[in-house]
Amino acid sequence: MNIVIIGGAGFLGQKLARALVARGRLNGQPVRRITLADVTDPVGIEGAVPVDTVQCDITDPASVARVITDETQVVYHLAAVVSSHAEEAFEEGMQINLHGTLNILERCRALGTAPLLIFTSSLAVYGGEVPDPITEVSLLNPQNSYGTQKAVGELLVNDYARKGYIDGRGVRLPTISIRPGKPNRAASSFMSSILREPLNGQGTNCPVDEDFRHYYLSPRKCVENLIRVAEISAGDLGGNRILQMPGRTLSIRQMIDAMTAVAGPEPARLISWQPEEAVRRIVGGWRFDIHADRALALGLEVDGSFEENVRAYIEDDRPGG
Ligand X SMILES: NC(=O)c1ccc[n+]([C@@H]2O[C@H](COP(=O)([O-])OP(=O)(O)OC[C@H]3O[C@@H](n4cnc5c(N)ncnc54)[C@H](O)[C@@H]3O)[C@@H](O)[C@H]2O)c1
Strand partners for 33: 2
C-alpha torsion sign, points 272, 277, 281, 282: negative
Q: Which is nearer to ligand X, 58 or 290 (CB)?
A: 58
Spatial distance between the Cα atoms of 68 and 95, rounded to a whole number of angstroms: 19
- DSSP structural state of residue 142: -
Spatial distance between the Cα atoms of 250 and 213, rounded to a whole number of angstroms: 5
Strand partners for 203: none
Tell me if 73 sits within 8 A of 31, measured CB to CB.
Answer: no
In the complex, minimum distance from the CB of residue 28 to ligand X, in angstroms, rounded to a whole number: 26
The SS3 of residue 130 is coil
Question: How many CB atoms sit inside 10 A of residue 147's CB?
Answer: 24
Q: Is 44 left (phi over 0), alpha (psi -120 to 50) or beta?
A: beta
In the complex, minimum distance from the CB of residue 189 to its own copies, in angstroms, rounded to a whole number: 22
Residue 170 interacting partner from its own copies, ligand X, none (CB closer than 5 to 8 Å by kind): none
Q: Which of 126, 146, 165, 313 is catalytic?
A: 146
Q: Which is nearer to ligand X, 99 or 260 (CB)?
A: 99
Residue 59 interacting partner from its own copies, ligand X, none (CB closer than 5 to 8 Å by kind): ligand X
Spatial distance between the Cα atoms of 265 and 284, rounded to a whole number of angstroms: 28
Q: Which is nearer to its own copies, 178 or 237 (CB)?
A: 237
The SS3 of residue 203 is coil
Tell me if 251 sits within 8 A of 212, measured CB to CB.
Answer: yes
Residue 173 interacting partner from its own copies, ligand X, none (CB closer than 5 to 8 Å by kind): ligand X
Q: Which is nearer to ligand X, 226 or 256 (CB)?
A: 226
Residues near ligand X, by CB under 6 A: 6-7, 9-13, 38-40, 56-59, 78-82, 96, 100, 120, 122, 173, 175-176, 179
Q: Which is nearer to ligand X, 154 or 167 (CB)?
A: 154
In the complex, minimum distance from the CB of residue 289 to its own copies, in angstroms, rounded to a whole number: 14
Residues near its own copies, by CB under 8 A: 90, 128-131, 136-145, 148, 151-152, 155-156, 158-159, 162-163, 238-240
Residue 10 interacting partner from ligand X, its own copies, none (CB closer than 5 to 8 Å by kind): ligand X
In the complex, minimum distance from the CB of residue 37 to its own copies, in angstroms, rounded to a whole number: 24
Q: Write the burial class of residue 272 (CB in 10 Å: 0-12 exposed, 13-18 middle, 19+ buried).
A: exposed
For the question of residue 146 being annotated catalytic, the response is yes
Spatial distance between the Cα atoms of 288 and 135, rounded to a whole number of angstroms: 11
Residue 277 interacting partner from ligand X, its own copies, none (CB closer than 5 to 8 Å by kind): none
In the complex, minimum distance from the CB of residue 116 to ligand X, in angstroms, rounded to a whole number: 17
Query: Which residues are identified as catalytic?
Result: 146
